Amino acid sequence: MKIINLFLIVTTLVFVSCLNDNKVIYPYNTRVENLRDNIKNGTIDLFEAFMEAQVELRNHPGADSEMFLTYVTDLMNEELKKLYESGKFEEACVMADSLVVANVTDLAYPIELCYNRFLDSTIQTKDKFTISELRNRMVEKKISGVFDAYSILNEYYEEKSSGLFIYYISKYAQIFPDLLSKYPDLLKKKAELEQYRNLDFEKMMKSVVTVYLDKGMAIKNGMGFQEKSIGTGFFIDDKGYILTNHHVIADHVDPKYKGFTKVTVALRDDPDTEISAKVIGYDKVHDVALLKVETHSKEHLVLGRSHNMRTGDKIYTIGNPIGLRYTVTSGIISNKEINFFQMGRAFQVDAAINPGNSGGPLIDESGQVIGIVFAGVPQFQGISFAIPFEWVRQSIPLLYRGNQVERSWIGAGVYEDRDKKELSFYYIMPGSGADKSGLQLDDILVSINDQKVTTLEDAQTEIAFNRSPSIIKVEIIRNGITMVLPVKTDARPYIPIEKAFMKDKQANLVSLVFGLRMSLMSKMLGARSYKVERIYKGLTAYTLDISEGDPVMIYGIKYIEKDKMILMQIRYLDKDVAAMERMFTLQISAEINTLL
């Protein structure tokens, strides 16, 4: 009896002591305790801890899991306070956004205050593109009001950027229904810009530069020569910043290249003088690089948007084909659906483009940049392509940060069903943010961070340009029921498929890469037999003569890192010849464009 009383006294003292310290005692749970240790040790960040808490709550619902989730969000709120008070306002905004997604209402500092302080600090230290992106984001979140939206539109009007003005007036009018009634002059300005044309090529050429990559002296057949490649670039502001293609200066930023390199540019007014240029940032995914020269340009091109360009629209290019400086060519957009990139699609154009043109502007009839041309695709000799400026413009603030552009992802494959006009998840990578959020195959994707997404490019845009790590809001429909899930973003690898090959099994990789969902029937030496469950229209497997329910034999799927290619050997019955089997080796680029 004395022992029991002593135990009760000790327990009471511990409980009172904890109350005095304003701490909560969490009931013992091995997994939760391990997670708490990992947080204290810094083994996992708070965003990862939040997702683990979600997993715990989903798998073990109850008071223990709920209190652990509260513990994690309290830590996140404390971190928000530290970030804000130490002047790290951008990081504070990321944490505040994540807490809002986590349904935390009592923030240490209001999200509006975080963003306004971030904007104040950005105006003093950052480039105009980063400032513009932030101001647009604040309007979309309704942190800024209708007058701010009006001010941004007026700036686009003054720049004569019809693409940006027309895009954002439509978007802002949906956010603020009274925008056009409060500011009726916007409709007049819209009509004016729709008719605006400014194709003064002589003036535009002053904004275009020749880009050189000097690799020093090389020896071939016993003779020395200067190894120097040429490309094109163009000024995007009056402070000496230039856009060009990454491949034009690739060896200069490639850590594997050990030789001499130097990047220089020559201006239109003095084509024989080369000015040293510094590579600020580069984007291997969309083949873009940002250069900086100390010479400031009085002229820079008007940057627009490519979202409203149509097949058949007239376009122009300015460049240095095969060293012929400042050549203007014209043509039309021949195709908008070229799958060259991991995100988004390329334009095919019929304007003459040759080596030396790479990095030059693609210009529409209003005189604004709607793309960057690139040349030299070996398998498409005689065909010209351009990077839509939609993707380039969103990358510019990331380029200004320096070094290689990093984007975000959640580790999922999304299928765009063009017949149903809907997006659905057809692959979830084990251990990814998508996996830990509870997303499942066949979930229909509706919106990301309250932005409706109807195309794969929409979804990739909403996720790729978020900061990582962070927590985003993903709205889905599952079996007819609408659900909202918090999902963690991570830094996207340059070749995301490499991560999937490290983490997943054969059948799931075949589904992701080739669009062939299967269930295992049997295993044998060197091969596996599967039953086809679904074939995704538009993906590679759809071209094969197989149907749902058919048996197939897979002899292996392999990633060739050197060539960035994926190979798969498959055997199946020939439907035209009884008892005859077909065997194929399918080959596809590792840069598949369905990953989110």
- The 10s digit of each residue's pLDDT in 190-215 is 999 999 998 999 999 999 999 999 99
Residue 223 is predicted with a pLDDT of 77
Q: Please, are residues 487 and 439 in contact by the beta-carbon 8 Å criterion?
A: yes
Q: Please, are residues 366 and 304 in contact by the beta-carbon 8 Å criterion?
A: yes
CATH number reported for the structural domain that contains residue 470 in this entry: 2.30.42.10
Residues 439-447: contacts with CB within 8 Å, 24+ apart?
Answer: 439/412, 439/474, 439/476, 439/485, 439/487, 440/478, 442/478, 443/476, 443/477, 443/478, 444/476, 444/477, 444/478, 445/414, 445/474, 445/475, 445/476, 446/475, 446/476, 446/477, 446/482, 447/473, 447/474, 447/475
Does 236 lie in the same domain as 179?
Answer: no
Is residue 443 situated within a structural domain?
A: yes
| CA separation for the pair 278, 530 (Å, rounded) | 54
Does 145 lie in the same domain as 210?
Answer: no
Check residues 481 and 11 and name the one with the higher pLDDT.
481
Does 325 lie in the same domain as 262?
Answer: yes
What number of other Cβ atoms are within 10 A of residue 212's Cβ? 20
Residue 8 is predicted with a pLDDT of 39
Does 396 lie in the same domain as 291?
Answer: yes
Is residue 531 situated within a structural domain?
A: yes
Pick from 88, 116, 144: which residue ends a domain?
116
Return the residue matching tokens 């029991």. 4
pLDDT band at 297 (very low <50, low <70, confident <90, very high): confident
**Whole-number percent of the chain with pLDDT over 70:** 93
Residue 29 is predicted with a pLDDT of 65
| CA separation for the pair 478, 220 (Å, rounded) | 63
pLDDT band at 171 (very low <50, low <70, confident <90, very high): very high
Q: Calculate mean pLDDT across residues 280-301.
A: 91
The string of pLDDT tens digits covering residues 64-101 is: 889 999 999 999 999 999 999 999 999 999 999 999 99
Has residue 563 got a pLDDT over 80?
yes
Residue 18 is predicted with a pLDDT of 42
Does 415 lie in the same domain as 342?
Answer: no
Has residue 24 got a pLDDT over 70?
no
Residue 16 is predicted with a pLDDT of 39
Has residue 313 got a pLDDT over 50?
yes
pLDDT band at 378 (very low <50, low <70, confident <90, very high): low
Does 187 lie in the same domain as 226?
Answer: no
- Residues whose CB is less than 8 angstroms from the CB of residue 246 and which lie 6 or more positions away in sequence, other chains included: 253, 282, 283, 284, 287, 288, 289
**Nearest CA to 243 among 343, 360, 352?**
360
| CA separation for the pair 184, 161 (Å, rounded) | 19
Is residue 70 situated within a structural domain?
A: yes
Residue 27 is predicted with a pLDDT of 45
For residue 242, what are the CA distances in angstroms to 15, 132, 287, 346, 545?
Answer: 64, 18, 14, 21, 49
Is the C-alpha dihedral spanning 46, 101, 67, 431 positive or negative?
negative
Has residue 189 got a pLDDT over 50?
yes
Residue 577 is predicted with a pLDDT of 66
Residue 479 is predicted with a pLDDT of 96
Does 513 lie in the same domain as 435?
Answer: no
Is residue 594 situated within a structural domain?
A: no
Residue 379 is predicted with a pLDDT of 65
What number of other Cβ atoms are within 10 A of residue 101's Cβ? 19
Has residue 499 got a pLDDT over 70?
yes
Residue 34 is predicted with a pLDDT of 86
Is residue 121 situated within a structural domain?
A: no
According to DSSP, the residues that pair with 291 across neighbouring strands are: 242, 279
DSSP label of 542: G
Q: Calculate mean pLDDT across residues 524-547.
A: 93
**Nearest CA to 84 among 67, 108, 61?**
108
3 state DSSP class of 336: strand
Q: Domain total for the chain?
A: 5
Identity of the residue numbered 540: T
Is residue 160 situated within a structural domain?
A: yes
Has residue 460 got a pLDDT over 60?
yes
Residue 172 is predicted with a pLDDT of 97
Q: Give me 207's structure tokens.
A: 């904004």
Has 64 been annotated as catalytic? no
| CA separation for the pair 423, 444 (Å, rounded) | 6
What's the chain's average pLDDT?
90
Q: Which of these is catalytic: 247, 252, 286, 300?
A: 247
Residue 3 is predicted with a pLDDT of 43
| CA separation for the pair 137, 496 (Å, rounded) | 27
Pick from 474, 493, 512: which residue ends a domain?
493
Q: Calculate mean pLDDT across residues 268-296.
A: 93
Is residue 566 situated within a structural domain?
A: yes
Has residue 296 got a pLDDT over 80?
no
Does 139 lie in the same domain as 262?
Answer: no
Residues in the chain: 596
The string of DSSP letters for 247-303 reads GGSHHHH-TT--S--EEEEEETTEEEEEEE-EEEEEETTTTEEEEE-SSPPS--PEE
Is residue 538 situated within a structural domain?
A: yes
Residue 578 is predicted with a pLDDT of 62
Q: Calculate mean pLDDT across residues 125-152.
A: 94
Q: Calculate mean pLDDT across residues 549-575.
A: 92
**Nearest CA to 155 among 174, 176, 136?**
136
Q: Calculate mean pLDDT across residues 253-277.
A: 93
Q: Which of these is catalytic: 358, 395, 468, 511?
A: 358
Has 247 been annotated as catalytic? yes
Does 300 lie in the same domain as 254?
Answer: yes
Q: Calculate mean pLDDT across residues 454-482.
A: 95
Report the Cα 107 to chain-centroid distance in Å. Answer: 28
Residue 579 is predicted with a pLDDT of 63
Does 354 lie in the same domain as 436?
Answer: no
Has 358 been annotated as catalytic? yes
Q: Please, are residues 236 and 297 in contact by the beta-carbon 8 Å criterion?
A: no
pLDDT band at 438 (very low <50, low <70, confident <90, very high): very high
Residue 10 is predicted with a pLDDT of 38
Does 522 lie in the same domain as 431?
Answer: no
Domain coverage including residue 385: 202-403
Residue 2 is predicted with a pLDDT of 41
Preceding omega of 493 cis (within 30 degrees of 0):
no
Does 38 lie in the same domain as 106?
Answer: yes
The string of pLDDT tens digits covering residues 227-264 is: 899 999 999 998 999 999 999 999 999 999 989 999 99
Pick from 493, 511, 543: which residue ends a domain?
493
Q: Which of these is catalytic: 287, 435, 443, 504?
A: 287
